[in-house]
Amino acid sequence: MEDPFRHINPAKLPKHIAIIMDGNGRWAKQRNKPRTFGHSAGAETVKTIAEAVRKLHIPYLTLYTFSTENWNRPKDEVETLLHILAEKLDEERETLMNNQIQLNVVGDLSRFSQELQRKFKDIFEATAKNKEMVLSLALNYGGRKEILSAVEKILREKPTFAPGNLTEETFESYLQSGNLPDVDLMIRTGGEYRISNFLLWKIAYAELYFTPVYWPDFGEKDLAEAIKDYQKRERRYGKTSEQIKNENQ
């Protein structure tokens, strides 16, 4: 089988990829299956893509797994999503260890069951020393809520803090995603062109890539296409092309 990553420049890989995994429900509908069937298929794609990112030696991957808005979905769908999540935590523990992947969560786990919280605590501890890749799941997460929570935490912990002394670095340390670097490449599957309240602070200078492919069908070839597109772009960070050229000379 042809290696889908053979034309990728290893010197220009993104350090942090974030993915909005969209299209599970529509994928299932095309097959006259319930939405939950699509979520189960999507969970298998998570494993495929996480292993591919690890193989490429990209150190950070963050997946939009369950947003704060997802609680508004039908109760049986929410319950199925959480059941799949709990099941995969048990099933993929060995894979995480064998691939030296550390599991991380961005979001608020307090709304989940005690049993699910315990599973997360156990796997956090088990993978804490894994150094090859950090796989972050955004769970019960919303970008605006993350920023608001950071402000509230600063006000609680530093009530006399002078606003003029607040730096981006200090503020970022209070974010739920504060332990992660900025996102270099953000991918959204499923054909929608929205950010959907995902990592609003961290994607400030991210390259955005949208694909019509539904998440359950998103494979190594699709990931390779996204990375190749990323590598064609000139990342300016607000600078002109001439400034970038001079800096690289």
Candidates 9, 24, 32, 70; catalytic one:
70
Strands (DSSP E) along 74-211, which ranges?
101-107, 133-141, 185-188, 207-210
Active site residue 197: no
Residue identified by tokens 């298929």 is 41
Burial class (CB in 10 A: 0-12, 13-18, 19+), 107: buried
Nearest to 211 by CA among 203, 201, 202, 221: 221
Active site residue 182: no
Q: How far is CA 211 from CA 53, 61, 114, 187, 207, in A?
A: 18, 18, 37, 8, 13
**Residues with catalytic function:** 22, 70
